[in-house]
Amino acid sequence: MDIAVLLFLTSGLFLGWSLGANDAANVFGTAVGSGVVRFRTAALITGVFVILGAVISGSGTTQTLGDLGSVNALPGAFTAAAAAGFTVYWMTRAGVPVSTTQAIVGAIIGWNLFSQSVTDTRVLFKIVGTWMICPVLAGLIAAALLHLLAVFLKTRSIHLLRLDAYTRLALIVVGAFGAYSLGANNIANVVGVFVPVSPFTDFRIGGFFNFTSVQQLFLLGGLAIAIGVFTYSKKVMLTVGAEILPLSPLAAWVAVLAHSIVLFVFASQGLEHLLAQAGLPTIPLVPVSSSQAVVGAVVGIGLLKRGRTIQWPLLAHIGAGWVATPIAAAAICFLSLFVLQNVFDQRVYRPVSYELTPRVMARLEAEGFPIEGIANLKGREFESARSIAGSLSERIPLTPEMRSQALTYAEVFHTSFFPIRLASMAPEELSPQQLAALRQLSGRSYRHKWQVADALAQRAPEWRLRPDTTVNKLHNRRIQRQLEFVYRTFGVGG
């Protein structure tokens, strides 16, 4: 691998280190702060399970960040991750448990602004909505769990020493679960911006296990998080575990469990699958704030006790950090991109052009887009997403859904299916029918992604999207993920 590639990946590793230094407190801070678990024990368990969570279950939330902004150049991904990492590091030095999710979201928005990309407001509102729901949900779960635990203990006669041993074991078990959930939910924050430009290639281990390029990124990010836990997390652990609200060992267990449940719910593809199969609304797979979850849980416990011992000034200080984090990360990212591009002559983003050719206009019309109002734009080419979105909005009322639809079909993305590359393909994700359809495109080239999707769907029903319902949601997401694999493999730029 080129040494320059490794250099660019260091910012993601630094962000992972910062996340480990800051967010380990959310897993074991209450246990360490209450004196039940030693710091070294907590750090070891967190490091092991955060890596497992990242590699095994980390793919669920990565797509959401990609929808917010697809950083399409390695120097740009380096800058976004570095901006988020420095922001988290400064907050960590101040002992404030900030949100790594907020930092990377702010950095991606900074990249969008610099590259003249359009931020999908629907995705942004979904993420911001979880920032509000997450601490409230964690607080409600924690209060309910503590109440149920108190009722249970009243009906049982457990010796104090035995209860103490049970509590310590429970804190270790739920801490391991919390670390796994942290890795699964937050690994997208660490290396998600590198997924579209991953420098790794898939390879097989032992002839039966396919270790994908994304999983390799997740492994590196998980290792960086683990190192951050060991080297720099103790100060924030004490802030969460002892300064906001002094917690008993049992209350500490409840806080960690409530935090872990919230992270797991927003990262679990298995839970999403069960809900979809039952025809129920699914929970969005979003990288939520681990810091907000645990702080919400601690406050929920405090409010159940009428809030007398909550350190409200410290809580206000933490809240101010949450507000400042995305703003600071966006500003740092934008300025850093400017310096990297103009001083060091690095290509921090790949320009993406758009066009409204007759073929594109016909496709938009078939999808119900009101092309009458934009007829005078037929044949026009645009140098950025912002320019085409601006031209459209000047002529017709443009909803976020319509804007996304226009950008999807108008984007220029050249794709060529070279016979040699097709012959060597054997990805486990594709069925034999999908592979056969893909190989039928040998020697063909396309100008738009949707043309590739249409060509594949015409050749095999396994490539076809289904009507957008709750039951079909997982099927369509799988097809979209497979199509993105095809675009990465055969795309030759715009």
280: pLDDT strictly greater than 80: no
H helices of 210-268, where?
A: 213-232, 234-238, 249-265
- The pLDDT, as a whole number, for residue 489 is 84
Nearest CA-CA partner of 269 in 458, 424, 412, 481: 481
Structure tokens of 376?
């005078």
Q: Which of 116-125, 384-393, 403-412 shows the lowest per-residue confidence on average (mean pLDDT)?
A: 116-125
* Arithmetic mean of pLDDT over the chain: 87
Question: What does the CA dihedral 246, 24, 83, 51 come to, rounded to 10 degrees?
Answer: -160
* Confidence bin at 494 (pLDDT 50/70/90): very low
Query: Could you give the CA distance from residue 241 to residue 246 in angstroms, rounded to a whole number?
Result: 7
Instruction: Quick: pLDDT tens for 329-339.
Output: 999 999 999 99
Average pLDDT over residues 3-10: 76
Which range is least confidently modeled, 95-109, 145-159, 303-317, 445-459?
303-317
Tell me the pLDDT tens digit for each residue of 421-463: 787 665 566 888 999 999 999 999 999 999 999 999 999 999 9
> 213-234 pLDDT, tens per residue?
788 889 999 999 999 998 888 7
pLDDT at res. 244: 59
Q: How many CB atoms lie within 10 A of CB 383?
A: 12
Q: Within its chain, how far is the Cα of 281 from the centroid?
A: 20
pLDDT at 161 over 80: yes
Q: What pLDDT shows up at residue 76? A: 93
Instruction: Report pLDDT for 114.
Output: 97
Say what percent of the chain tops pLDDT 70. Answer: 93
From 74, 100, 96, 297, select the one nearest 183 (Cα to Cα).
100
**Token duo for residue 196:** 């579209």
| 471 HSE (CA, 13 A, CB side) | 5
445-446 vs 209-211, strand pairing mode: unpaired
Dump the DSSP string for 182-215.
Answer: HHHHHHHHHHGGGGGG-----EEETTTEEE-HHH
Please name every residue paired with 411 in a beta bridge, in sequence order, or none if there are none: 354
Whether residue 305 is predicted with pLDDT greater than 90 in this model: the reply is: no
Q: Among 81, 344, 436, which Cα is nearest to 224's?
A: 81
What pLDDT shows up at residue 368? 92
CA dihedral sign, ordered 1, 193, 297, 97: positive
pLDDT of 283: 84
**Do the beta carbons of residue 315 and residue 295 sit within 8 Å?**
yes
Read off the pLDDT band of 470 (50, 70, 90).
confident
Residue 242 has pLDDT above 60, yes or no: no
| Whole-angstrom distance, CA of residue 103 vs CA of residue 86 | 9
- Using CA atoms in the order 67, 68, 73, 77, what is the torsion angle rounded to 10 degrees? -120
Bridge pairing between strands 445-446 and 415-416: antiparallel
Angle between helices 74-93 and 3-33 in degrees, nearest 10: 30
Average pLDDT over every residue of 390-416: 95
What pLDDT, on a 0 to 100 scale, did the predictor assign at position 6? Answer: 72
Contact 79, 89 (CB under 8 A): no
State the pLDDT at residue 322.
85
Q: Residue 326: pLDDT above 50? A: yes
Q: Which residues pair with 355 in a beta bridge?
A: 381
